[in-house]
Amino acid sequence: MTTTGRSHATPLEHVEASGSPSITAARVLAVLRIATGFIFLWAFLDKTFGFGYSTPSERSWISGGSPTEGFLSHVEVGPLQGFFHTIAGTAWADWAFMLGLLGIGVALILGIGLRIAAVSAALMMALMWIAEWPLAQHTSAGESSGSTNPIVDYHIVYGLVAIVSALTYAGHTWGFGRQWAELPFVRKYPWLA
């Protein structure tokens, strides 16, 4: 028990205490958290150094490329098209996007600060989802140029994984979430957990 009388046990640990097999569920959530964290961290690394997977080296951030300009300047329709075109390639948008990718990736991999990571990931992914609206666009040949599901695509799934990771204390399994939660400044400001 903490000084506030609340237990630090996760929902999965409460289930485990009742005899249900939650160790497997906790490990599955930890793997999902770490894998999703690596997706965010990889996007940061590829955009920074231009490994050639989605960002060629000549368009990398360290080579003077903008991580937001290509994506945001090509928003063709949607409720925020003008806004996205206005911020495409601006220094503040590039820095916010890249720090977001790095922070979310590191937080998910290490299992710390998952509440902030969840809110940040959900916001970032929601904005990227809106930027690609409408999602199920088709070329003149009838082939889909992107997602074929107009409601749920990978942006929504990544945001949901971050939220589920925070809500289930997934950072306590194969992560540093438990130690992070015991730090004095995190105990003082629990929204940092």
Q: Report pLDDT digits (tens) over 46-69.
A: 999 999 999 999 999 999 999 999
Least confident piece of the model among 10-19, 35-44, 85-94, 109-118: 10-19
Q: How many Å apart are CA 71 and CA 124, to the nearest integer?
A: 13
Is the pLDDT at 167 greater than 70? The verdict is yes
Q: How many Å apart are CA 40 and CA 152, to the nearest integer?
A: 19
Number of neighbours of residue 166 by Cβ within 10 angstroms: 24
Least confident piece of the model among 95-104, 123-132, 168-177: 123-132
Is the pLDDT at 86 greater than 80? The verdict is yes
- 3 state SS of 144: strand
Question: Average pLDDT over the chain, rounded to whole?
Answer: 86
Selection from 186, 178, 192 nearest residue 8 by Cα = 178
Is the pLDDT at 135 greater than 70? The verdict is no
Is the pLDDT at 38 greater than 80? The verdict is yes
Question: For residue 122, what are its two tokens?
Answer: 């959900």
pLDDT confidence of residue 141: 44
